[in-house]
């Protein structure tokens, strides 16, 4: 899994995204952004959602049906990392979804 820390992080992130697109032979898209995140972080899936308010959001891309379903669930129940990120105006880091850390939220 590639390291994302340190100087030049933006360049490394864009290189991962461009690499995803090049592997597919396509121009960069939100699908490549999600794919690069999955590859870099080592997660099972990713969703890129856009929100203008807590009750107005749209999914730009989900890597699979499980990721899309989890994204939909957190907005249905009104809690989860995306809801928290929107409310707090920044990233929210959560370890394993089934971990004690996530359950304590």
User: pLDDT 10s per residue in the chain (105 long)?
Assistant: 445 555 688 898 899 999 999 999 999 999 999 999 998 888 899 999 988 887 788 999 999 999 999 999 998 998 888 889 888 998 888 777 665 555 455
Contact status, residue 38 vs residue 16, Cβ threshold 8 Å: no
pTM given for the model = 0.73
What is the rounded distance in angstroms from the CA atom of residue 35 to the CA atom of residue 22? 12
Q: How confident is the model at residue 7, as a pLDDT?
A: 61
Q: How confident is the model at residue 99, as a pLDDT?
A: 57
Q: How confident is the model at residue 105, as a pLDDT?
A: 52
What is the rounded distance in angstroms from the CA atom of residue 65 to the CA atom of residue 18? 24
Could you tell me if residue 28 is left (phi over 0), alpha (psi between -120 and 50 degrees) or otherwise beta?
Answer: beta
């Amino acid at each position: 899994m590639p390291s994302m820390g340190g100087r030049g992080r933006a360049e490394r992130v864009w290189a991962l995204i461009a690499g995803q697109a090049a592997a597919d032979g396509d121009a960069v898209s939100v699908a490549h952004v999600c794919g690069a995140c999955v590859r870099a972080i080592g997660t099972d899936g990713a969703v890129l959602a856009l929100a203008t308010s807590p009750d107005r959001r749209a999914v730009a891309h989900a890597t699979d049906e499980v990721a899309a379903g989890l994204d939909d669930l957190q907005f249905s129940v009104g809690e989860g990392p995306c809801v928290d990120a929107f409310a707090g105006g920044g990233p929210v880091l959560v370890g394993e979804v089934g971990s004690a850390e996530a359950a304590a939220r």
